[in-house]
Amino acid sequence: MTILNLKKQIIEVGRRLWQRGYVAANDGNISVRLNEREILTTATGVSKGFMNEEMIVKIDMEGRSLERHAKFKPSSEVKMHLEAYRQRPDVHAVVHAHPPYCTSFAVAGIPLDRCVLPEAILILGAVPIAEFGLPSTLEIPEKIRPHLQNTDAILLANHGALTLGTDLMNAYFKMETLEHAAHIVWNAIQLGNVNVLPEEVATRLMALRSNYNLSGKVTSCQAGPLTVSKMARSAKADFNNDLTEEQIEEIQQAILKRLKK
């Protein structure tokens, strides 16, 4: 793929991230590895929903711009992208965003490491949380480093999420899968229960990865129960206790009566 086409793809992925609410204002960043020495990355201070080709800059593996007369500078958060490329030769694209649901789990300190959804088990496996690192500093690369050999998706404590891929769409779709899974688990928590699949089912699912030609690094998810928060239990109890059985019966009869008219 030509550099121009890669830039167009980065622009499209940025637009999708923004449209889905995975980033706000100038949040997030996207990068693609061109070769062993060069990276394309989104510029600092630009909305990912309104980018053009000028806002995609070429840098080296030290984060230095390779475009002498570029109007835009690379994002300071590209440091964690570069760390992923250094540690993982198989990674050719990185997406960083702040999707609301998986970022909520990151803020709450709850890893998405339970065996809940078959698709998430197959594509992501267990998703850990990297300890908090100050944005734009070398702390973030240091904090994600322990996880890079075991997973293609990482929650960043009190920050957001990072996904790695064999190409840009692969990395982006992992971000979609991560947020979709987090949203479903969150909804299940609000309902008061999360059914976790047994270990043998998760093992069988992981064995299917080769059948689907799934690449990347995954760690088997955990089969233990996901503890429902006291807040969720309380909300469920309040919901159940708001109405008496007699009141519920009256409402049901009134609805049936109206439907028969």
Residues designated as active site: 77
Cβ neighbors of 11 (< 8 A, separation 6 or more) are: 51, 52, 53, 56
156 CB contacts (<8 Å, ≥6 apart)?
106, 129, 130, 132, 133, 140, 143, 144, 162
**For the chain, where are the alpha helices, taking DSSP H only?**
3-19, 78-87, 100-108, 118-123, 139-144, 168-191, 199-207, 230-241, 245-260
In Å, what is the CA distance from 238 to each residue of 8, 200, 232, 244?
50, 36, 10, 12
